[in-house]
A and B are shown apart, each in its own frame.
Chain A
Amino acid sequence: MKISQLKVEHIGCYSGSSFQFSDLTVIYGENRAGKSTLIYALYYALYGKHLNTTLSVPDLCQKGEKIGAATLHFSHEQTNCQLWRSTLGTVALSILSEDGTQWKSLVQDTSESLKPFVPIPADIASLTSFFREGELIYFLKDIPRYNKTLLQQLLEMDDIFILQSRLKKTTGIAKEKRKDIQVDQSSLKLPSLNPATAQKETEELKTEIGRIDAEIKNLMAASGGAADPRLLNMLQRTIDEKKTEIASIEKARAELPEQDILVRKKEEIEKSISESTVVYSNPDELQRQLGSYDQQIQALKSDIQRLSDMEKQPSCHACGQALSPDHFTRLISERRTRCAEIENNRKRVASELLTVQSTLQDQKASKIAMGTIQRQLAEIQHWNGKVKKLNDQLSEAAGEYEKAKGTADDMEIETGSRHILELQSQHAELQKRLIGLNIEIQHVEQRKTDLEKYKEKIREADHLVLLCEIACQAMDRAVAALNQNLMEKVRESLQEWAGHFQYLDRFDIEMTPKELSPIIQAKGFTYKLNQMSKSERIFLYLMLKLAIGDAMGHLGVFILDDPADGLDFKRQQVLAHLLQEVSGRRQVIVSTNDDRFADIFPTSSRINL
């Protein structure tokens, strides 16, 4: 690529300007004249990005303007191109027709479509075709840092190393998962049961059970088909239960009086109650009469006492009139007679009250006795009913038993039953064993299925581990290949450029394949980077950029923003000479604010801002 012209509109300090470039162009201007802006505009026109990664595209616009644009004229593989890009992201590429008369529009979309004309990616171009003084900050310090080699640092390989580490950890996770599955599988032990043997045993058991069934049927048929021991046992048990129940009821009934006695007593009580038809006085009324008599007697006695006291006095206390003793004697006699009458009446009423109370007490006792008798009679009737029912059931069971027993005598039944019972017991045992065996067989089958599933899981886990390992190995190899390929090319290129960088002649600079760090030797001594002078490191850095550019690709243009800053005039002369050398192989665009440095270059190649 060769850049011939750059037009900028509303970019930085430029409202609308055009700049022409030759094989070696020096952009000279004081501070804030717009030198760096031009470099940024060149990078922006090519890639639509800001060269300074700490700034964004809108930062390129002129103050007060929302949109800026840059148009770059360049030739690539004998094709003249015009690349226009606005800060809004619009891009347009046109190529000049072969006769040189008209521009033909090619792409108007993405940077992907620009690849054939701008073949180097933006990040590589930033490293190999552009130089900013800010880049030197870390390079001038003690590097490599954080165990990174110089090349790794220049290539910004941190992301690769992080990803490499993550892939290794992913492999660790995959292995851990596989181990977990293996542990789970090992805890899943197969039972010691041999399925073939178990199956054989099952068949044998089935045959034996069939044989016992047949024998039981034969025995039952031989005993007339009547003496089924299980039925007889069941009936006997029923009879026994009924008898026990009846006995317990009889015992409970024996504790009650005889039914006849109770009936007789009941009749007597009923008779006595019906006979007592006399109407008795109300005991409460009699009680009130007694109280009334007591009050009257008390009043009369008190009156008699008062009259007796007055009888002994000659005159009245109140009026002083003389009193007649005969009159008092008569009055006292009348009151005593009256008192005697009332006392007689009281005795009569008291006697009557006693009779009434006694009668009422008797009636109450009779009613209680009547209730008890009625309850006992009901209980007896209930027991009688139940006993009758049980007796019926007993008779029925006994009949059934006799029927089941048939014609066989007890002895025959007992012998046959015992044999059948033994066979039935044996049958039950075999059935139990058969069921157990079937469960075990099912268990074994289930375990087998589980084991197969685990095997499948382990196969899959192995496969995942393999995929992870492949990714890790591929990563390692890619890193090694990247280093190796680049290293070879960088080493070759370094040797070539060393011829031009005569300033560094006294150093023997080479890149070691292992460390990727330059080994610098001078007069037999090994130097570290930070043991070199600043100017030596600047030259080394530029040389590395050129060498890496040869290895990774470059634009064919080497654009430097103020590389002479910090160099004394002698070193500036060396740098200028070097850049002239480089311009023989690549187009060089260099900016400076140092007029002495700018004056070293031919004036024809100069842009004064």
Chain B
Amino acid sequence: MAIRDETRMLLETMGRLFEDKSTKKAVDAAETGVFAADLWQAVAETGVPLAALPESAGGADAEWEDLYYVLRVAGRFSAPIPLAETMLAGWVAASAGLDTVDGPMTVGPVRASDVLTVERDGNGWRLNGTASRLPYATNAQRIILIADGPDSEMAVALDGTGGAEVSPGKNIANEARDTLTFNNMRLEADNVRPLGDGVSRAGLYLRGALARAAMMSGAIENTLDLACTYAQQRVQFNRPISKFQAVQQNLAVLATQTAAAVAAANMGIMSLSKDLERQEFLIAMAKTRVGEAATLACEIGHQVHGAIGFTKEYALQLSTRRLWSWREEFGADPEWAAKVGSYFCGIGADELWPTLTAA
């Protein structure tokens, strides 16, 4: 029901770690293109990135719910590492019996429109197609992709970018978003396996959207925290600007949007214990609502800060540039909103309330 004590302890531990290691200096350095290896190492040592895997696959059988709450904390500190991507790469790889590594991994495709196929070639395989804007692909030791096989979706493991044509890119938070193109790339039989039960490309997209929703809820919390702190320090007209009602009203709206973002992400996270159909619409609702909150939070966060918030030196932009990036990734909120609307129109108006309130 409510957050368990052990979850709370995990979140406190991870909060301290990120506060210590994911500093503005560390994030600034990562944004210049140097991977945050120290931060990654510290996070990897906690075992969190692969914790959800079964013990047999090197994990700890941890609850996925808990790991998404960790992603909120990572988002609060703008952690410039592929934590969500590694978790999800592990999820896909383990289901297919592919090996994972302790280093950073990534997973894809992350875009619904990408086409990736594998076909038989003797005892091996050939990979064709594009994985667009793959998070941290150039930083990943291993990349796990889902491709259409002859009969079903297949998991594919690459070491590094493993022979792909790489077109480096980045989001506006300077996180690597690299496009990988595969032209008949040869793969050994061991590196291509059928997906396990419950894992699919659509499921990956859904969980990726939930990961971004969780991270965004953390970045929004940080935006509120910075804005409230700044408003109480900044003096104009002989008063801290937090004493002006116009500013207070803005910050109150930001607080309501923060609360909604946290609750919406929770709604998505809690759906993981429910059937797939409920997961689909609840996570779609979560990404929709968190995306809406992100837009408003960035607007108010900057308005309260004035010019200083618009500088590179001040930390607000670490969160707002991530929010502007993440809200578009794994499906933007208007896209998910349309899915929510289509789903409920499809099942019919009279099913809306029974469906929303079912256990």
Whether A and B are associated in the same complex: the answer reads no
Which residues of A does B touch, CB under 8 Å? none
